[in-house]
Amino acid sequence: MARAWAVVLGVAFGVSLLLPAAPAAAHNALTGSDPRDGARVANAPERIELRFLARTDPATTKITITGPDDVAAVGGEPRFSGNRVSVPFTPGGAGLYTVGYELVSGDGHPITGMIRFTLTTGTPADPTTTPEPTATPEPTATPEANAAATAAAEPTPTKSPAPKQATPMPRAESTGPGWWWAGIAAVVLLAVLAIARLLRRRAARR
């Protein structure tokens, strides 16, 4: 009889030890990931995988992935398989990536956490391109404007000063041939008279 009670008490004690462990087992937690937390990855994976202690509920599970400059890197809807969740990964530039998760465990407690890994040689992020300045089209000149521009470009003809008229020289009054002969005759007559007077004086002295 004592032996039977010992067996009963032993079983009851064992059951009492197992009862507190039941709620703890219902509390979910992250057990691993691929890439692992803190890893440095040269080749970007196609999917990010998270592994949990228990099965996750798709209705209450949310996975986010952000890269450098908080750019989203989730490439599609997550896929659930037992206690594993995989999410398509769309890499951007090389740098630090953060995978965040939110879920509700079987005991109703919300669970949140994150892992980080570094992509060392990812797809370079597209640089912000500066639009080239658009050339302003030159205004089309109207025919009137073209005519005005042509007239302005042509040199204005310079008027040559009128040649000065030469001042006429005063013409000397011409003496006709009669005047020349009258002068000569007067000189000869005076000479004859002078000679005749001289001869008379000499004749009177004699």
Give the tens place of pLDDT for each residue, 126-171. Answer: 444 444 555 555 555 566 666 666 666 555 555 555 555 555 554 5
CA geometry: angle 73, 76, 79, nearest 5 deg: 115
Domains along the chain? 24-119 (2.60.40.1220)
User: What are the tokens at 5?
Assistant: 């009670």
Q: Could you read off the pLDDT of 61-71 as tens digits, one per residue?
A: 999 999 999 99
The rounded distance, in Å, linking the Cα atoms of 98 and 188 is 150
User: What are the tokens at 126?
Assistant: 């597209």
pLDDT value for 134:
57
Q: Could you read off the pLDDT of 104-133 as tens digits, one per residue?
A: 988 889 999 999 999 998 655 444 444 455
- Please provide the average confidence, as pLDDT, over all residues in the chain: 75
User: What are the tokens at 88?
Assistant: 């398509």
Contact 52, 105 (CB under 8 A): no
Start-to-end Cα distance in the chain: 236
- Report yes or no on whether pTM surpasses 0.75: no
